[in-house]
């Protein structure tokens, strides 16, 4: 153990201001302990209202059947599956931030990982609604579970990508929840131990599982986090991969392409980071956490956005190229007649503009660090990623092999829109509750990096920075 | 609620002070029962002479179990229990089994590890433990030294004080955990005879 | 005394020259026994050219992957690899010679050889009768091929040169001067973009996928990238271990080895992921124009290599490198690196050979010549040893003015 706390002064501090361990606790626990402010109340009310509208829309669909969604040909599922894939995609950033960035030792993840993980879980919850209610007879949803039944085929079809989805999404939800919660336990304990009211003592006493902070427990906790991160990393990739399999295993032109798995994953990370940006920019402002979610954090996330946006761009162009290069007439038509042109051409160009072209503006450092611009971009990217799924699903299906499935004037019904709005309600209701009752920033993890990356601590490193390399190495590296 | 023991408790507010203190206390032959910290302190486990956790090995075993479960079940179902022709694929479509196999591997490993973690650390709702200092989850690193019949408390306290502890006291505390609520004070051991 | 200045030992040189000698010998013997002067479309001529292309492209992409390693870690502000930074730098120095060789071979094949078995799109007469190739003529034609190839290799060389220049200038500059670092950021950003547009998309289509000219897969380039990337990481690892054993790289320790090991482990899995995605999707949808690619690879003479590829590049790293202690063990990581460099060489082999030697695929003739393949590969390995060794002597092994060098020294996994 080297007692040296050193980090290059080239790196921006991750925690701004003069902070001590206690100050960190105070800052992050404050929103939990204070009374909810007006902004929170208004937002929460709107979310609940949306949720209620969603519940009513779903009630219509369940009671009267999927005719409420005009489902009489393949394209009818366009809107709902678009929403499903969109939400699942958003649900990728949280685990990416906490898992992959943990493995890659990107220190800046500590400021945003807790909220991003929470967002992941809520987004996956929203995503799950769509296939479940899309089943029509939702009370038979348990049919997807693998158990020996008396319905004919006896078992579910393990070779079907839709069943893979069932396994992937439920595993992803479970593992993300465990990962998130195991990280929350120590922070809940912090709130418990400083609680003044009886109710808070009781509640945080229950949810903190009797955490004491024992060194042995921390050692196991670290090991657990690391292995869960190691497991979650391929898991994140697998989830959107399997979602992409839903399309790519079929022989529908525009869907069957081998690049789909990694390209969907890149797109998911892209949209997920955009959603994290949206939420973080609001959260840091409303909760006054800009010392912890600094411009450096925002810039780092914008870098991820421009990277993944460009990867997605390469994938779009690859697809477009192969549609020509492959020499298959159907594939060619799907792209050149029905995607970039045709009645839905506008959606393709919206997608291209929002996902590939506009993120390139983030090559500029000035724009990466501009809060207002970032906020607008995060919305733009989310719109673009919604259109990506819309383009893939609708443009390939509206000119399906059977002319009876053809449709140019596809649009969702009010109850489908209501359902979608309802998932926003669900998402934000959950997020508002989370931000009120749980620390939105990982307290223990911030404390862990405070002395290397805190602003006031970094100032002391100038002295070390001036030392010669040999002297530095001699003094510190071997002083274990 | 078992045995009650006596401890000397020293609180530190800086890792740089804590590490040398740990070294000295151990060198003097005292048994550090634990150090409670608000965040993971890297290297403290080694300084305390703890062995590495084998939690990840358990995770590996759980994972392998998941892999086997998935492969065996699906193969048995598709080849012997109820073979079906699906899209002209072979009855054992191995590539199509990979996604579910992978998911179950991860699921088993993750759930198994978290449960094992909770079991080993005795973590569950309504579990209550003795907390030596309420700021141990805020900004203090709390070193707890177990007293035996031979221990001279004053000597230990003096030692902690001279090594930079910001707060030193002696506490009697029950070993282990019990079911309870944090909003109610526990009077479980105060009235009882302290047995060493 | 810290050894920061690498000196090539006599033994190292002997080995390099011996391997080059083996390569030259293999080429000469191959030329004679495969009767390369004979009928242009005979098996021998095709094999000869295919072997040359296989090795020159593979080792070039491995060297380019080293440059990608530098760019990716620089862009991600990774500090840990600074103390070993000179190794990937030296490896990317192979881009000049390797690029020139690949350029000569590719253009030599397209313009200098009458053989049309490997790139049958270059045969105008054949293309005229082939509907699919006529359709693709805009992309698959000698003019476009040569312009793109020259451009791609030229840009790689230029960016590697530029990076190296700035990196060395930093050593000579004032300590604490960070302008060099920001300059490398620009070069690396440019390289990442170039890499995405070349290795990440067009180049593998042009050089490799066009061997099976009718076939197509959108995944192909990313798959090729993953393969060369793992091999590149392994090569970096080998040189680090070699230098450590010789007493250099004092500030590189198990922590750094561990991290490179993690990269190798993770990207081996990533490679498998791409392999599986491509294979499974083609297997699942079962369309003849796509499965045609796997037909000769999965059935017939290449079957063994098809499965060996998976065992070497997936099963071996996942089992051997999973444990923390094995990623920190010099012997294990060396063994694994050698295995993986061979494994991905084999992966490239099975990308190139079945498509090139179409008619001779099933008689096992081509596999029987494996010793010839290995001989040529040995020559390339010797060349890499020589060039990288040389590059390593050209500069201090520690970029002592790099702003992250101290982080790298105290790096703790």
Report yes or no: C255 at the A interface, CB cutoff 8 Å.
no
- Cα–Cα distances (Å) from B136 to A189, A214, B10, B32, C161, in that order, read 10, 9, 11, 16, 55
Query: Model confidence over A16-39: pLDDT tens digits?
Result: 888 888 888 988 888 888 888 888
Range with lowest mean pLDDT among A476-480, C70-74, C296-300: A476-480
> What is the CB neighbour count within 10 angstroms for residue B160?
25
Q: Is residue B192 part of a domain?
A: no
Q: Which residues of C touch A315 (CB under 8 A)?
A: 218
Q: Convert B68-107 to b/e letters by CB count within 10 Å (16 or more is b).
A: eebbebbbebbeeeeeeebeebeeebeebbbbbbbbbbbb
- Cα–Cα distances (Å) from B71 to A234, A238, B61, B82, B112, in that order, read 19, 17, 16, 15, 19
Q: Quick check: B189 pLDDT over 60?
A: no
Nearest to B95 among C283, C322, C412 (CB): C283
Query: Are A241 and C277 a contacting pair at CB < 8 A?
Result: yes
Residue C273's region, left for phi above 0, alpha for psi from -120 to 50, else beta, is alpha
> What is the CB neighbour count within 10 angstroms for residue B174?
17
B43 and B61 housed in the same domain: no
For the segment B116-127, the average pLDDT, to the nearest whole number, is 92
> Who has greater pLDDT, C60 or C6?
C60
Q: Which residue of B has its CA nearest to A19?
A: B139
**pLDDT value of position C103:** 95
Q: Is the dihedral of CA B142, B143, B147, B152 positive or negative?
A: negative
B99 and B152 housed in the same domain: no
Q: What burial class does residue A196 get, using C-beta atoms within 10 Å of its C-beta: 0-12 exposed, 13-18 middle, 19+ buried?
A: exposed
- Cα–Cα distances (Å) from A29 to A50, A104, A173, A453, C201, in that order, read 29, 28, 27, 21, 48
**pLDDT value of position A352:** 93
Report yes or no: C288 at the A interface, CB cutoff 8 Å.
no
Write out the residue range of the structural domain in which residue A235 sits: 21-456
B113 and B137 housed in the same domain: no
Nearest to C279 among B87, B88, B95 (CB): B95
Range with lowest mean pLDDT among A92-96, A102-106, C168-172: A102-106
Query: Are B113 and A217 a contacting pair at CB < 8 A?
Result: no
- Cα–Cα distances (Å) from C177 to A76, A187, A289, A460, C86, in that order, read 61, 41, 33, 19, 19
What is the rounded CA–CA span in Å between residue A39 and residue A51? Answer: 18
Q: Tell me, letter by letter, the H, E, C secondary structure of A211-255.
A: CCCEHHHHHHHHHHHHHHHHHHHHHHHHHHHHHHHHHHCCCCCCC
CB of C282 closer than 8 Å to CB of C219: no
Confidence of residue C56 (pLDDT cuts 50, 70, 90): very high
Range with lowest mean pLDDT among A9-13, A192-196, B49-53, C135-139: A9-13
Q: Which residue of C has its CA nearest to B89?
A: C284
Q: Quick check: B193 pLDDT over 70?
A: no
Nearest to A325 among C75, C76, C136 (CB): C136
Range with lowest mean pLDDT among A207-216, A463-472, B169-178: A463-472
Q: Which residue of B has its CA nearest to A163?
A: B100
Q: Which residue of A has its CA nearest to C405?
A: A469
For the segment C104-128, the average pLDDT, to the nearest whole number, is 90
Which positions 152-211 of A are in contact with B (Cβ < 8 Å)?
153-155, 157-161, 163-164, 167-168, 171, 174-175, 178-179, 182, 185-186, 189-190, 192-195, 198-199, 201-202, 204-207, 209-211
Query: Model confidence over A49-62: pLDDT tens digits?
Result: 999 999 999 999 89
In total, the C-beta contacts within 8 angstroms joining chain A to chain B are: 223
Q: Is residue B152 part of a domain?
A: yes
Range with lowest mean pLDDT among A108-117, C218-227, C403-412: C403-412
**pLDDT value of position C176:** 80
B78 and B97 housed in the same domain: yes
Q: Quick check: C362 pLDDT over 90?
A: no
Q: Is residue B188 part of a domain?
A: no
**pLDDT value of position A275:** 92
What is the rounded CA–CA span in Å between residue C343 and residue C231? Answer: 8
What string of DSSP letters covers B88-102? Answer: T--SS-HHHHHHHHH
**CA nearest to A455, candidates A9, A25, A10, A18:** A18
CB of A474 closer than 8 Å to CB of A2: no
Q: Is residue B196 part of a domain?
A: no
**pLDDT value of position B196:** 39
Q: Is residue B187 part of a domain?
A: no
The CATH number of whichever domain residue A178 belongs to comes to 1.20.1630.10
Q: Is residue A81 part of a domain?
A: yes
Counted domains in chain B: 2
The mean pLDDT value of chain C amounts to: 90
Q: Tell me, letter by letter, the H, E, C secondary structure of chain C.
A: CCCCCCCCCHHHHHHHHHHHHHHHHHHHHHHHHCCCCCCCCCHHHHHHHHHHHHHHHHHHHHHHHHHHHHHHHHHCCCCHHHHHCHHHHHHHCHHHHHHHHHHHHHHHHHHHCCCCCCCHHHCHHHHHHCHHHHHHHHCCCHHHHHHHHHHHHHHHHHHHHHHHHHHHHHHHCCCCCCHHHHHHHHHHHHHHHHHHHHHHHHHHHHHCHHHHCCCCCCCHHHHHHHHHHHHHHHHHHHHHHHHHHCCCCCCCCHHHHHHHHHHHHHHHHHHHHHHHHHHHHHHHHCCHHHHCCHHHHHCCCCHHHHHHHHHHHHHHHHHHCCCHHHHCCHHHHHHHHHHHHHHHHHHHHHHHHHHHCHHHCCCCHHHHCHHHHHHHHHHHHHHHHHHHHHHHHCCCCCCCCCCCHHHHHCCCC
What is the rounded CA–CA span in Å between residue A361 and residue A309? Answer: 11
Give the percent of chain B with pLDDT over 70.
93
Nearest to A215 among B35, B99, B114 (CB): B35
Query: Are C178 and A10 a contacting pair at CB < 8 A?
Result: yes
For the segment B80-103, the average pLDDT, to the nearest whole number, is 89
Tell me which chains share at least 3 CB pairs under 8 Å with chain A: B, C
Query: Model confidence over A434-451: pLDDT tens digits?
Result: 998 999 999 998 888 888
Q: Quick check: A160 pLDDT over 80?
A: yes
Helix axes B153-162, B15-27, angle to 10 degrees: 140
For the CA atoms of C383, C389, C393, C394, what is the dihedral angle to 10 degrees?
40
CB of A324 closer than 8 Å to CB of A336: yes
Give the percent of chain A with pLDDT over 70.
98
B13 and B29 housed in the same domain: yes
Q: How far does CA A180 lie from the centroid of its chain?
A: 13
Alpha-helical runs (H) found in B15-151: 15-27, 44-47, 55-76, 94-120
Alpha-helical runs (H) found in A138-214: 161-193, 198-207
The CATH number of whichever domain residue B40 belongs to comes to 3.30.70
Residue B170's region, left for phi above 0, alpha for psi from -120 to 50, else beta, is beta
Residue A106's region, left for phi above 0, alpha for psi from -120 to 50, else beta, is beta
Query: Model confidence over A263-318: pLDDT tens digits?
Result: 999 999 999 999 999 999 988 888 888 888 989 899 999 999 999 999 999 999 99
Counted domains in chain A: 1
Q: Is residue B193 part of a domain?
A: no
> What is the CB neighbour count within 10 angstroms for residue A285?
14
**pLDDT value of position A1:** 40
Q: Quick check: A5 pLDDT over 80?
A: no
Count of residues for chain C? Answer: 413
Q: Is residue A428 part of a domain?
A: yes
**pLDDT value of position B192:** 47
The mean pLDDT value of chain A amounts to: 88
Q: Quick check: B190 pLDDT over 70?
A: no
Close Cβ partners of A366 (under 8 Å, ≥ 6 residues apart): none
Q: Looking at the complex, report in whole angstroms how far the Cα of residue B196 sits from the nearest Cα belonging to chain A.
A: 23
Which positions 331-370 of A are in contact with C (Cβ < 8 Å)?
363
Confidence of residue C369 (pLDDT cuts 50, 70, 90): confident
Q: Looking at the complex, report in whole angstroms how far the Cα of residue B95 sits from the nearest Cα belonging to chain C.
A: 6
Q: Which residue of B has its CA nearest to C272?
A: B98
**pLDDT value of position B195:** 42
Q: Is residue A33 part of a domain?
A: yes
Decide: helix, strand or coil at residue A365: helix
Confidence of residue C407 (pLDDT cuts 50, 70, 90): confident
Q: Is residue B13 part of a domain?
A: yes
Report yes or no: C171 at the A interface, CB cutoff 8 Å.
no
CB of C379 closer than 8 Å to CB of C24: yes
**pLDDT value of position A3:** 58
Query: Are B177 and A210 a contacting pair at CB < 8 A?
Result: yes
CB of C87 closer than 8 Å to CB of C56: no
> What is the CB neighbour count within 10 angstroms for residue A166?
20
**pLDDT value of position C360:** 59
Residue B122's region, left for phi above 0, alpha for psi from -120 to 50, else beta, is left
Task: Write phi, then psi, for C321 (nearest 5 degrees).
Answer: -95, 5
> Who has greater pLDDT, C74 or C412?
C74
Which positions 192-251 of A are in contact with C (Cβ < 8 Å)?
233-234, 237, 241, 245, 248-251
Confidence of residue A155 (pLDDT cuts 50, 70, 90): confident
Q: What's the maximum distance between 2 C-alpha atoms anywhere in chain B?
A: 82
Q: Which residue of B has its CA nearest to A22?
A: B139
B59 and B93 housed in the same domain: yes
Q: Which residue of C has its CA nearest to A252?
A: C285
Report yes or no: C286 at the B interface, CB cutoff 8 Å.
yes
Which positions 251-280 of A are in contact with C (Cβ < 8 Å)?
251, 256-262
Q: Is residue B85 part of a domain?
A: yes
**CA nearest to C63, candidates C167, C156, C145, C150:** C156
> Who has greater pLDDT, A95 or B107?
B107
Q: Quick check: C186 pLDDT over 90?
A: yes
For the segment C227-253, the average pLDDT, to the nearest whole number, is 92
For the segment A127-142, the average pLDDT, to the nearest whole number, is 89
**pLDDT value of position B191:** 45
Write out the residue range of the structural domain in which residue B132 sits: 4-51+124-179
Q: Quick check: C105 pLDDT over 50?
A: yes
**pLDDT value of position A126:** 94
């Amino acid at each position: 153990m080297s007692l040296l706390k050193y980090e290059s002064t080239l790196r921006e501090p991750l925690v701004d201001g003069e902070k001590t361990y206690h100050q960190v606790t105070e800052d992050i626990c404050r929103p939990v302990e204070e009374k909810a402010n007006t902004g929170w109340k208004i937002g929460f009310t709107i979310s609940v209202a949306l949720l209620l509208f969603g519940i009513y829309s779903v009630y219509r669909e369940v009671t009267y059947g999927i005719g409420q969604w005009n489902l009489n040909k393949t394209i009818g599922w366009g809107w709902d599956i678009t929403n499903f894939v969109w939400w699942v995609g958003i649900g990728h950033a949280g685990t990416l931030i906490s898992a992959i960035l943990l493995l890659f030792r990107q220190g800046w993840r500590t400021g945003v990982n807790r909220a991003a993980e929470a967002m992941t879980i809520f987004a996956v919850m929203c995503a799950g609604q769509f296939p479940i209610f899309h089943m029509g007879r939702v009370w038979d949803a348990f049919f997807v579970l693998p158990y020996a039944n008396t319905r004919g085929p006896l078992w579910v079809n393990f070779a079907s990508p839709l069943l893979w989805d069932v396994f992937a999404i439920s595993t992803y939800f479970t593992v993300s929840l465990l990962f998130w919660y195991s990280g929350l336990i120590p922070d809940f304990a912090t709130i418990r131990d400083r609680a003044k009211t009886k109710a808070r003592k009781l509640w945080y006493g229950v949810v903190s599982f009797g955490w004491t902070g024992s060194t042995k427990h921390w050692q196991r906790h670290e090991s657990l986090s690391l292995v869960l991160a190691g497991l979650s990393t391929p898991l994140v990739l697998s989830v959107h991969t399997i979602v992409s399999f839903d399309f790519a295993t079929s022989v529908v032109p525009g869907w069957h392409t081998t690049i789909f798995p990694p390209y969907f994953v890149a797109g998911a990370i892209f949209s997920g980071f955009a959603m994290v940006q949206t939420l973080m920019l609001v959260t840091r402002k409303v909760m006054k956490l800009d010392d912890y979610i600094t411009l450096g954090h925002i810039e780092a996330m914008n870098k991820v956005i421009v990277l993944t946006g460009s990867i997605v761009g390469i994938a779009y162009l690859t697809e477009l190229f192969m549609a020509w290069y492959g020499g298959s007439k159907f594939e060619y038509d799907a792209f050149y007649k029905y995607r970039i042109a045709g009645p839905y051409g506008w959606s393709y160009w919206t997608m291209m503009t929002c996902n590939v072209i506009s993120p390139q503006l983030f090559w500029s450092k000035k724009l990466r660090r501009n809060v207002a611009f970032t906020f607008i971009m995060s919305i733009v990217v989310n719109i673009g990623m919604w259109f990506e799924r819309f383009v893939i699903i609708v443009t390939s299906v509206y000119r399906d092999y059977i002319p009876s499935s053809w449709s140019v004037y596809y649009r969702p019904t009010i109850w489908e829109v209501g359902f979608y709005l309802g998932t926003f309600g669900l998402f934000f209701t959950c997020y508002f509750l989370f931000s009120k009752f749980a620390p939105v920033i990982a307290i223990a993890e911030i404390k862990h990096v405070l002395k290397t990356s805190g602003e006031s601590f970094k100032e002391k490193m100038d002295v070390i920075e001036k030392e010669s390399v040999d002297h530095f190495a001699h003094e510190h590296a071997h002083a274990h | 609620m078992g045995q009650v023991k006596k401890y000397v408790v020293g609180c530190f507010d800086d890792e740089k002070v804590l590490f040398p203190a740990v070294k000295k206390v151990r060198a003097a032959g005292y048994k550090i029962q634990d150090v409670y910290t608000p965040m993971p302190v890297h290297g403290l486990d080694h300084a305390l002479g703890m062995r590495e956790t084998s939690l990840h090995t358990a995770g590996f075993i759980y994972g392998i179990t998941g892999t086997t479960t998935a492969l065996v079940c699906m193969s048995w179902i598709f080849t012997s229990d109820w073979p079906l022709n699906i899209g002209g694929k072979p009855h054992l479509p191995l590539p199509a089994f990979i996604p579910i196999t992978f998911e179950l591997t991860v699921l088993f490993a993750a759930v198994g590890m978290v449960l094992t973690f909770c079991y080993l650390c005795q973590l569950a709702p309504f579990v209550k433990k003795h907390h030596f200092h309420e700021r141990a989850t805020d900004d203090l690193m709390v070193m707890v030294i177990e007293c035996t019949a031979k221990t001279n408390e004053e000597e230990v306290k003096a030692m902690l004080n001279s090594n930079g502890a910001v707060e030193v006291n002696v506490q009697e505390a029950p070993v282990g955990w019990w079911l309870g609520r944090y909003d109610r004070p526990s009077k479980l051991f105060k009235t009882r005879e302290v047995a060493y | 005394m810290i050894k920061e200045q690498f000196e090539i030992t006599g033994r190292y040189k002997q080995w390099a020259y011996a391997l080059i000698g083996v390569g030259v010998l293999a080429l000469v013997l191959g030329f004679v026994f495969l009767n390369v002067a004979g009928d242009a479309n005979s098996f021998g001529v095709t094999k000869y050219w295919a072997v040359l292309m296989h090795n020159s492209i593979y080792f070039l992409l491995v060297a380019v992957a080293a440059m990608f390693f530098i760019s990716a870690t620089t862009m991600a502000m990774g500090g840990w690899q600074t103390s070993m930074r000179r190794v990937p730098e030296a490896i990317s120095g192979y881009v000049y010679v390797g690029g020139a060789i690949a350029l000569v071979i590719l253009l030599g094949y397209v313009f200098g050889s009458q053989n049309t078995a490997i790139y049958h799109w270059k045969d105008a007469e054949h293309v005229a009768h082939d509907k699919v190739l006529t359709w693709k003529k805009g992309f698959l034609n000698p003019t476009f091929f040569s312009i793109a190839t020259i451009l791609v290799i030229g840009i790689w060389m230029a960016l590697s040169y530029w990076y190296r220049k700035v990196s060395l200038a930093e050593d000579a500059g004032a300590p604490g001067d960070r302008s060099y670092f920001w300059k490398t950021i620009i070069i690396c950003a440019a390289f990442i973009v170039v890499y995405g547009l070349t290795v990440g998309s067009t180049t593998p289509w042009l050089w490799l996928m066009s061997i099976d000219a009718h076939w197509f897969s959108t995944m192909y380039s990313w798959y090729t990238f993953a393969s060369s990337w793992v091999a590149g990481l392994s090569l970096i690892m080998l040189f680090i271990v070699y230098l450590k054993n010789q007493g250099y790289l004092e500030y590189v320790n198990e922590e750094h080895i561990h991290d490179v090991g993690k990269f190798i482990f993770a990207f081996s899995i990533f490679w498998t992921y791409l392999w599986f995605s491509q294979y499974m999707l083609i297997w699942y949808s079962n369309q003849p124009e796509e499965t045609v690619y796997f037909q000769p690879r999965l059935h017939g003479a290449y079957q063994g290599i098809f499965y060996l590829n998976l065992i070497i590049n997936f099963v071996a790293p996942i089992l051997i490198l999973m444990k923390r202690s094995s990623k920190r063990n010099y012997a294990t990581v060396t063994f694994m690196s050698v295995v993986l460099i061979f494994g991905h060489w084999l992966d490239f082999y099975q990308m190139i050979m079945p498509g090139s030697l179409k008619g001779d695929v099933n008689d096992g003739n081509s596999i029987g010549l494996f010793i010839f393949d290995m001989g040529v590969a040995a020559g390339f390995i010797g060349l890499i040893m020589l060039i990288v060794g040389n590059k390593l002597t050209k500069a201090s092994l520690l970029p002592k003015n790099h702003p992250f060098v101290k982080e790298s020294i105290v790096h703790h996994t």
